[in-house]
Structure 1
Amino acid sequence: MKRFIGFIKKEFYHIFRDKRSLFILFGMPIAQIMLFGFAITNEINNVDIAILNNSKDATTEEIINKLNSSSYFSIKEFIQNENEIEAIFKKGHVKAVLNFEADFSKKLSTKNNANVQIITDATDPNTANTISNYVSAILQNYTQTINKNVTITYQIIPKTRMVYNQELKSVFMFVPGVMTIILMLVSAMMTSISITREKELGTMEILLVSPLKPFQVIVGKVVPYIFLSIVNAIIIIILSIFVFNMPVQGSLFLLGIESILFIITSLSLGILISTVSVTQQTAMMISLMGLMLPVILLSGFIFPITSMPLPLQIISNIIPAKWFIIIVKGIMLKGVGFTFIWKETLILVGMTLFFIVLSTKKYKIRLE
């Protein structure tokens, strides 16, 4: 046992002497969480728009002022005719044009309706759709204001209440996903590189003929990265809470246990990658290309899984990150307990055991 503990200490010393490994372990997670949290967002702020006001009456001016006073839009330019719309879009100066029809106020008072055409630059479909929804919401709010003293015989008034994310902050969606990506990539990549480095340098055989058993060598290699990944998880959670005001409605203890389970799952996957890799470069490529794209595309981090074709929905079930994201969102945003996430937890446990068993068999074949 003393030899095993000494081997683990040696691995810690080796990691701390390697400045590049320390940068990857602690620098990359902090940089990624900050970039995703601040730079990537579904929200819009101060989007430049143009106005084509064919009416130029008090009502249209009031609506324009209402749009301009919001934090969502900034009126970049007033154009004079429809021929200028295409030109202004091609310049890339604005993301939307609002076209008020002629006699807007008169039609609103006599016919009880008037038209506003919302023309958006759909080269970015998500942004275009968001702009359209925001403008429609402002126009609807204005309509309700001017009709507050008008009684309509029959009316259906939808009242929307957003639960778990009332302000629709996109950071609440990105933080669990980024946490998953970081723990998956760092854990799997660093473990696979650590073991393949020994193979590449020819020192793995020396370790395996030492008094330590092969299983102890592998575990000794993995234990430091479990500890360091736990530190990463703590840093990410602290940044999420104190920098991005991410709520943790559920148990921090349960979140920690589930994070450790996912870390072990990722590390066991890294061991499996190391069994099929001879060089560090191969292990790095498999870790980055084989894990990053599936984690981002098929885990539900950015794109809803239910919107994907059925074959991709089926394939997503073998992505560990999918189940961990469900767990993290459930604990942090919904405040659920273990009774609501036991199935996802059981799936991660099963994947971990599968990776470990498969890796052990691979190592036996390789070490004969």
Structure 2
Amino acid sequence: MKQLIAFIRKEAMHIFRDYRTMLVLFLMPVAQLLIFGYVISTEIKDARIGVLDKAHDYSSRQLVDRLSASGYFRVVDYLQSEHEIESAFRKGDFQMAVVIGEGFGNNMIRPEGSRIQLIADASDANTAQMLVSYASGVVSKYAAEQKTFPAHGSIETEIRMFFNPALKGVYMSIPGIMAMVLILVSAMMTSISITREKEFGSMEVLLISPLKPFQIILGKVTPYVVLSFINALTIIVIGVFVFKVPVVGSLFWLLIINFIYILLALSLGIFISTVAKSQMVAMFISMIGLMLPTILLSGFIYPVASMPKALQVISVIMPARWYIQAMKTVMFKSGELIFIWKELLILISFFVVFMVLSVRNFKIRLQ
């Protein structure tokens, strides 16, 4: 019995001395609980909308105030013409446009009623449906409050969906699945491959060879670059020919986005391999550290705008968020560089940072 107690004490000391294990045991469950608790929500909060007010009367301003005061919407732009709506959607300036017809206030006291139009960016079908549903509810409540006679105070709401009129969910699924698959496969396979060399002792042989750190890294990742690119092309082909997902923009920029994202995923895998001591640790970091944030914080399933401010800030450092935005823009909106340059710049910056850190860690090991 004393031997068993001594053995348990020894194993407990090993666990408590390993700060990585302690973080996994205590910090990870808390982090997952907070992320799931705050992110998994179907509520709309502070969604960005644009307003085209053709009436400019008291009633129209009152309706806009009601939309803002609801807590669901935040007016970020007042438009001058309908031609600005599509351009704003392509740039991602807002998620829905509210067009208030001329003579809005006067028409409310007439039997035919007033008209407004709700135009949503349906490249994210689920969010678009929620936006128009919430907005329609606010408009209906406002109309009911304005009625002085049963036939008066009605508002006819017209709904339009840009880029995805049929509201097909697969339009959002394809970019999201690509983001998840590519970053997991590329990062996980690369990290495991390099960590395996460390475990078996062959990495030391490479480090004392004439090869420089960047040459070792290049040799390790080149096959995965090719395989991942083939994987990306396969998913795109299946999406286009099987699920009928359109590619409105340039195929060139679509391939460039995927190539940069694959390089970024591989650089993440290399960085993980420099901090992980075993294949199991590398796999765990890749699965937990990349999969959950990619699914929950990238906007793949749940809109970023509906998350708490703290999680919105964290989502900024999620590469998948910018990849999905760029892919949606090219596939459903436009393939011009002016609409995706910010996302490309952010992805390239992530790639450079992780590559510099990885090469630096290799140099430290060599010394």
Measured against the shorter chain, the TM-score band is 0.5 to 0.7
Structure 1: distance between partners of 2:210 and 2:313: 45
Deviations 1:99-139 (A, max 9, x none): xxxxxxxxxxxxxxxxxxxxxxxxxxx9xx99xx8xx9xxx
- CA shift for structure 1 position 208: 2.5
The letter of the residue matching 2:155 is I
- CA shift for structure 1 position 153: 6.9
Any unmatched runs of 5+ in structure 2? 1-41, 43-125, 137-150
SS of equivalent residue, structure 2 residue 177: helix
- CA shift for structure 1 position 210: 2.8
| Residue of structure 1 equivalent to 2:98 | none
| Residue of structure 1 equivalent to 2:282 | 283
Q: Percent identity?
A: 56
Structure 2: distance between partners of 1:196 and 1:154: 69
| Residue of structure 2 equivalent to 1:262 | 261
Map residues 301-316 of structure 1 onto 2, 5 A cutoff.
Answer: 301-316=300-315
The letter of the residue matching 1:367 is L
| Residue of structure 1 equivalent to 2:202 | 203
Structure number with bigger Rg: 1
Structure 2: distance between partners of 1:254 and 1:230: 14
Deviations 1:231-259 (A, max 9, x none): 00000000100111111110111000110
The letter of the residue matching 2:284 is M
Q: Aligned Cα RMSD in Å? A: 2.3
The letter of the residue matching 2:362 is Y
The letter of the residue matching 1:233 is A
- CA shift for structure 1 position 155: 4.5
Structure 2: distance between partners of 1:190 and 1:256: 21
- Aligned residues of 2:213 and 2:359 also touching (Cα < 8 A): no
The letter of the residue matching 2:249 is G
Structure 2: distance between partners of 1:153 and 1:277: 69
Deviations 1:329-353 (A, max 9, x none): 0111112411111011111111111
Structure 2: distance between partners of 1:227 and 1:310: 38
Map residues 132-151 of structure 1 onto 2, 5 A cutoff.
Answer: none
- CA shift for structure 1 position 367: 2.1
| Residue of structure 1 equivalent to 2:163 | 164
Deviations 1:302-340 (A, max 9, x none): 000010000000000000000000000011111241111
Map residues 34-45 of structure 1 onto 2, 5 A cutoff.
Answer: none
Structure 1: distance between partners of 2:227 and 2:201: 26
SS of equivalent residue, structure 2 residue 161: coil
| Residue of structure 2 equivalent to 1:222 | 221
The letter of the residue matching 2:272 is I
TM-score (norm 2): 0.58
SS of equivalent residue, structure 1 residue 299: coil
| Residue of structure 2 equivalent to 1:273 | 272
The structure 1 segments of at least 4 consecutive aligned residues displaced by more than 4 Å after TM superposition are 152-155
The letter of the residue matching 2:254 is L
| Residue of structure 2 equivalent to 1:338 | 337
The letter of the residue matching 1:244 is F
The letter of the residue matching 1:206 is V
Deviations 1:200-249 (A, max 9, x none): 11001112233322321111001111111100000000010011111111
- CA shift for structure 1 position 272: 0.5
Structure 2: distance between partners of 1:206 and 1:153: 85
TM-score (norm 1): 0.58
Map residues 1-368 of structure 1 onto 2, 5 A cutoff.
Answer: 155-368=154-367
Structure 2: distance between partners of 1:163 and 1:214: 49
- Aligned residues of 2:213 and 2:363 also touching (Cα < 8 A): no
SS of equivalent residue, structure 1 residue 220: helix
Structure 2: distance between partners of 1:367 and 1:190: 23
